[in-house]
Structure 1
Amino acid sequence: MKKILVPTDFSDQAKYALKLAVEISKKTDAELILLHVVEIPGQTSFNTMGEATDIDGMEGVYVMKMIEQGKKKLAQLEENQLLEGIKFKSELKAGNAYYNISSIVNEYEPDMIIMGTSGSSGVDEILIGSNAEKVVRNAKCPVLTLKEEISLANIDNIAFATSLKNDDKELAQKIKQIAQFSYAKVHLLKVNTPNNFESSNNTKKRMDEYMKNNGLEAEKHIYNGINEEEGILEFAKENKIDLIAMGTHGRKGLMHLLSGSIAEDVVNHSKRPVLTLKIGD
């Protein structure tokens, strides 16, 4: 792992994400990219220096004050003792949060994004709702989202919810890496639902084949649920899972409206950290 992107709005959740990113950085010698986006609702016109263009009067003054405030907070973060000995870069952008996160992803090509899923209130808010969902849905690298503070030492059990297809090999490798860092036990999970039911014997055979193909050591679990999201969350609660990992197909447009996204729903409703990766087209 060479680069980890950490979007921050300086909220508690963003601080939790940074702490975990620092831990992983120390294990992998990865460089951290700290990104703060000054999101101004209704405004999308900014130049490459993060300065607003085509805005006049009091509105322009307000925008510039927000940018200066963001620069000051980012500078304070750079002096945090937590980052001592860590390789990092910091970026400040202004405008749409998701657009700027995507832009940084394309520019730096990080190996992972670690981000909080709840932001602060008002115009500083960047990491909640649709923005976090869009990042999970569209990012080309794994995305680790968290709501509460957690360290690698506290990750004892990882639930890997999978369809057992071989289109999530990259995610399987990231899970193996995190399990190695945290000495965690991996639980391979297949949720059976009324609309997508499979016999236990057949599922166990596919699990064995999947683990062999991915070099994965895990305890096998078949869990029956009303739907996949509820099944994953219920299994995690019942089995004291510390981290949930799963793929997302990143559907857009009509397909997303019709079928939704199990991964996005789990990210929204889980109190536990969730590691996701877009798989397929």
Structure 2
Amino acid sequence: MKRILIPTDFSEVATNAFVYALELAKIIDAEIIVLHTFQMPIIDYQYFPENYKQLFDSFELATFEKFKDEIPKLRDLAEKRNLGHINLYHKLMDGDLISNIKECVVEEKIDFVVMGTAGASGWKEFFIGTKTGDAISSVSVPLLSVPLKAQYRTIRYICFTTRFRDKDIKALQSVLQIAKLTQAEVKCLYVQSLASDVKDEKIEAWKKLFANEQVSFFVHTSEYVKETIIDFIDIHEIDVLAMANYKRSFFEELFVTHLTEKISYKSNIPVLVIQE
């Protein structure tokens, strides 16, 4: 059985992402591990020589109590969505969030990570210097990032952006596996600029390779790569944007620059990052 990891701080953002984790678990027949991390406060023990341990014990107990109180709410949410049959496991860890995620991915044999982000107004924080942004560049399994305002709906169309690199083939195969389970169509988009060096023969070879798959290939010629992707999402009513884990600068340029206002409407769709 596959396993999904969802880190949570029990915020609205994280709870919304939990809904997607539940639905993904139903689709791929997976169980969910809910991870909550906390970090002990840094205190100069020289000034608290006698009650230092008591202070930390109290902090850890308070964290545990909060964790214990919040877990039933997640179970109730699953029941309300008729997904109470999905196995939920819970993990409370001390330490840095990203380090704990990476550790869990290995130790718990995680297949997917699902995390929340703040939506259009939070794209900059999401991709630059935040926990989710850090996770994108460091976690070794596919990561689904879910905006706060995203409302789960049946996945009909997935857009996979590519530059027809050989290593993108594996990423597209992973997306197609998910698409088959959701009976979704994958629309593979390549934005060809004047600087592009992809030959027509390469594109035709991909079409032949995936001839028996539910995927369509689109080649749009434009010098405005990011704008073209955003327009494609809008015109084709894309439900999930999927892409290989390019350099972080690509994400920054795509979601943080002057395009922020333009994507505010469509930023409510999840982004699936496939690790290279």
Could you say which TM-score interval applies, normalised by the shorter chain? 0.7 to 0.9
Assess if the C-alpha contact under 8 Å between 1:161 and 1:189 holds in 2. yes
CA distance in 2, matches of 1:56, 1:70: 21
Assess if the C-alpha contact under 8 Å between 1:166 and 1:210 holds in 2. no
- Go from structure 1 to structure 2 and tell me whether the alpha carbon gap of 1:70 and 1:274 turns closer, same or farther (over 3 Å shift): same
SS at match of 1:163: coil
Question: What letter is aligned with 2:206?
Answer: Y
CA distance in 2, matches of 1:73, 1:182: 30
Runs (5+) with no aligned partner, structure 1: 44-53, 120-125, 252-259
Deviations 1:111-144 (A, max 9, x none): 111221239xxxxxx9995211111112211111
| Alignment counterpart, residue 236 of structure 2, candidates 228, 234, 239 | 239
Assess if the C-alpha contact under 8 Å between 2:187 and 2:218 holds in 1. yes
Assess if the C-alpha contact under 8 Å between 1:248 and 1:277 holds in 2. yes
Percent identity between the aligned chains? 27
Assess if the C-alpha contact under 8 Å between 1:23 and 1:152 holds in 2. no
Question: What letter is aligned with 2:163?
Answer: S
Assess if the C-alpha contact under 8 Å between 2:34 and 2:89 holds in 1. yes
Question: What letter is aligned with 1:236?
Answer: I
CA distance in 2, matches of 1:240, 1:65: 45
CA distance in 2, matches of 1:127, 1:89: 28
- Go from structure 1 to structure 2 and tell me whether the alpha carbon gap of 1:226 and 1:93 turns closer, same or farther (over 3 Å shift): farther
- Go from structure 1 to structure 2 and tell me whether the alpha carbon gap of 1:85 and 1:31 turns closer, same or farther (over 3 Å shift): same
- Go from structure 1 to structure 2 and tell me whether the alpha carbon gap of 1:197 and 1:116 turns closer, same or farther (over 3 Å shift): same
Does 1:84 pair with 2:84? yes
Assess if the C-alpha contact under 8 Å between 1:242 and 1:273 holds in 2. yes
Question: What letter is aligned with 1:207?
Answer: I
Alignment of 1:96-115 (within 5 A): 96-115=96-115
CA distance in 2, matches of 1:263, 1:226: 17
SS at match of 2:268: coil
1:149 counterpart residue number: 150
Assess if the C-alpha contact under 8 Å between 2:157 and 2:240 holds in 1. yes
Question: What letter is aligned with 2:241?
Answer: I
Assess if the C-alpha contact under 8 Å between 1:136 and 1:264 holds in 2. no
TM-score (norm: length of structure 1) = 0.74
CA distance in 2, matches of 1:267, 1:10: 26
SS at match of 1:100: helix
1:187 counterpart residue number: 187
Assess if the C-alpha contact under 8 Å between 2:127 and 2:251 holds in 1. no
TM-score (norm: length of structure 2) = 0.75
CA distance in 1, matches of 2:52, 2:104: 25
Assess if the C-alpha contact under 8 Å between 2:14 and 2:116 holds in 1. yes
The structure number with the bigger radius of gyration is: 2
CA distance in 1, matches of 2:55, 2:221: 58
1:59 Cα deviation after fit: 7.1
CA distance in 1, matches of 2:11, 2:253: 22
Task: Select between 34-43 and 139-148 the one with higher mean Cα deviation.
Answer: 34-43
CA distance in 1, matches of 2:251, 2:175: 16
CA distance in 1, matches of 2:52, 2:238: 49
Deviations 1:11-59 (A, max 9, x none): 233223222222222233211111122356769xxxxxxxxxx956767
Alignment of 1:194-205 (within 5 A): 194=194, 196-198=195-197, 202-203=199-200, 205=201
- Go from structure 1 to structure 2 and tell me whether the alpha carbon gap of 1:245 and 1:26 turns closer, same or farther (over 3 Å shift): same
Deviations 1:131-164 (A, max 9, x none): 11111112211111110334351x2221110111
- Go from structure 1 to structure 2 and tell me whether the alpha carbon gap of 1:172 and 1:99 turns closer, same or farther (over 3 Å shift): same
CA distance in 1, matches of 2:138, 2:103: 12
Question: What letter is aligned with 1:132?
Answer: T
RMSD: 3.4
CA distance in 1, matches of 2:42, 2:177: 41
Alignment of 1:102-251 (within 5 A): 102-118=102-118, 129-147=129-147, 148-151=149-152, 153=154, 155-194=155-194, 196-198=195-197, 202-203=199-200, 205-214=201-210, 216-226=213-223, 228-249=225-246
Runs (5+) with no aligned partner, structure 2: 44-50, 120-125, 261-266
1:246 Cα deviation after fit: 0.6
Question: What letter is aligned with 2:196?
Answer: F
CA distance in 1, matches of 2:63, 2:228: 43
SS at match of 1:140: coil
Assess if the C-alpha contact under 8 Å between 2:150 and 2:269 holds in 1. no
Deviations 1:229-269 (A, max 9, x none): 443223212332221111014x5xxxxxxxx4324655776
